[in-house]
Copies of this chain bind each other. A is one copy, B any other.
Amino acid sequence: MNDGEFVKEIAAKDEAFSQWYIDVVKKADLADYTMVKGCMVIKPYGYALWENMQQCLDQKIKATGHKNAYFPLFIPESLLKKEAEHVEGFAPEVAWVTHGGDQKLEERLAVRPTSEAIIGSLYSKWVHSWRDLPILINQWANIVRWEKVTRPFLRTTEFLWQEGHTAHKNQEEAEEETLKILAVYKEYIERDLAIPVLAGKKSSNEKFAGAMHTYTLEALMGDGKILQAGTSHNLGQNFAKAFDIRFLDENQEEQYAWTTSWGTSTRLVGGIIMVHGDERGLKLPPKVAPVQVVIVPILFDKTKQEVLKKAQELKTRLSEKFRVELDDRDAYTPGWKFNEWEMKGVPIRLEIGPRDLAQQQVVAVRRDKGNKITVMENELISTVEKWMGDIQNNLYMQARTRLEENIRFADHYEQFKEIIEEKRGFVKAYWCGCEECENQIKKETKATIRCLAMENNKEKGKCIYCGKESMSPVYFGRAY
């Protein structure tokens, strides 16, 4: 196989986006299929990316006063059934444990599809007085939902996530928490993952099963479809009533607590691939890239030792500030290595050969630009440092521009359908608020309400479907 074929093995992004996605997941060595239906293995490169993502978000979650804990994987069936809407939403997706060893269990156990029920049962035990509130807990955990159609990272039977669960003494605090977390998520997704998002409330149809209301962040993918990137739910008193979370308030009166929950998952790895990737593979934001700088030495027999020595020296120096890999494999040509590291989305590649050595320079290539630039050795660290910021910013700005170009307003249904079919992206349109219109639009166009517009809008409009007067513009799109 010659050097170029490494890249040719992936499908063309513009022509076959879904296949391109799968190809990149495999070729960049992020994940693999397993013999367990719908379950993937996250391979070391993909997991290192996830670990960096976790670290970015975990810091933000802790900085806002939340603490991590760990709750059981299993939820007894009777407990899951306590909140009616909740069980209705999740029951079809639950994996059930029925036997422990040879013994049939007295009660089936759900493998957690989300943890409101089990956590609610414990908060009920822990909360007695207003002094016990708020409870601000997050958990990193695996989740199982029996999915019919799966795709690596985007929808898998088992996935990894974090789920926050908080309890408060009144409605205002719960709402404040729900919005605070939405802001934390927005900062994480936009600044660390370089993915711009639209923020807004979900329609009742699309909200979390059992929630009072749900806020969401919605991101535009490379094929014009929309990915739900994170959600934050104000659960009102629904779960407190179902799971009996009561406390004595300052006036010694008994109250039900107000709870929230919120989550983001490994599906955001899919988001990173689909927002930033190109025809040569992954393109990773520096903040979360497992390898930020790769050094590829250009080796000839005569000068091999000196060049390797210098490459090693550069690696040591750069490693003080960055995540660096030296690719000194003998079995591959430099060209092959260039392709492979581009496929893996490494932000900066440094090449060093005998001529560079002589002139105390290296050749540097940014993954987001592609052109070769000569950098003097004594300016290398400051250049790499500057580029880290530039690349992070550039990836975000490119995606931001694409997002803005792909929000289109429609004021009649034919136009709406045409945009959804031909251009995709977000369609902003008025909606009367009734579920029937929402369902009909979904049936006819596969577009769903991704979120209600958050910005103040004093102009009235007409529902894109039924024509009734409306104060509520919303964003539609075809979702993952």
Contact = CB atoms under 8 A, between A and B. Distances in A.
Contact of A70 (B47, B67, B72, B95): B47
A122 B108 CA distance: 30
Interface stretch (A86-94, A253-261, A387-395, A425-433): A86-94
Contact of A68 (B48, B70, B97): B48
B41 A71 contact: yes
Contact of A34 (B36, B46, B108, B121): B121
Contact of A97 (B48, B69, B95): B95
A76 B41 contact: no
A356 B401 CA distance: 59
A43 B135 CA distance: 12
Most chain B beta carbons < 10 A, residue from A34, A35, A36, A72: A72
A421 interface: no
Contacts of A48: 67-68
A266 to B, nearest CB: 9
Contacts of A97: 95-98, 111
Contacts of A142: 73, 141-142
Interface residues of A, number: 56
Number of chain copies forming the complex: 2
A158 B69 contact: no
A42 B67 contact: no
Contacts of A43: 69
Contacts of A39: 72-74
A249 interface: no
B98 A36 contact: no
A79 interface: yes
A157 B175 CA distance: 36
Interface stretch (A99-107, A220-228, A453-461): A99-107
Most chain B beta carbons < 10 A, residue from A42, A73, A98, A121: A73
A138 to B, nearest CB: 9
Contacts of A121: 34-35
Interface in A150-190: 158, 160
B72 A158 contact: yes
A475 B108 CA distance: 43
A51 interface: yes
A388 B146 CA distance: 49
B160 A41 contact: no
Nearest to A91: B101
Interface in A50-72: 50-51, 67-72
A395 to B, nearest CB: 25
Contacts of A118: 34, 36
Contacts of A102: 92
A245 interface: no
A32 interface: yes
B99 A34 contact: no
Given A79-B35, A95-B100, A101-B94, A160 B70 contact: yes
Nearest to A73: B158
A40 B125 CA distance: 14
Given A72-B39, A118-B36, A125-B32, A101 B146 contact: yes
25 contacts: A34-B72, A34-B121, A35-B76, A36-B74, A39-B73, A41-B69, A41-B70, A41-B71, A42-B69, A43-B69, A46-B69, A47-B69, A48-B68, A51-B68, A70-B160, A72-B158, A73-B142, A74-B95, A74-B158, A91-B101, A92-B101, A95-B97, A95-B99, A96-B97, A96-B99
Interface of A: 32, 34-36, 39-44, 46-48, 50-51, 67-76, 79, 91-103, 108-109, 111, 118, 121-122, 125-126, 131, 137, 141-142, 144, 146, 158, 160, 331
Given A39-B74, A47-B70, A94-B100, 15 more contacts: A34-B122, A35-B121, A41-B70, A41-B122, A42-B70, A50-B70, A73-B111, A73-B142, A73-B144, A96-B99, A97-B98, A97-B111, A100-B146, A103-B146, A111-B111
The 9 A-B residue pairs with the shortest CB-CB distance in the complex, in nearest-first order: A44-B67, A100-B146, A39-B72, A42-B70, A96-B99, A92-B101, A36-B72, A98-B98, A47-B69
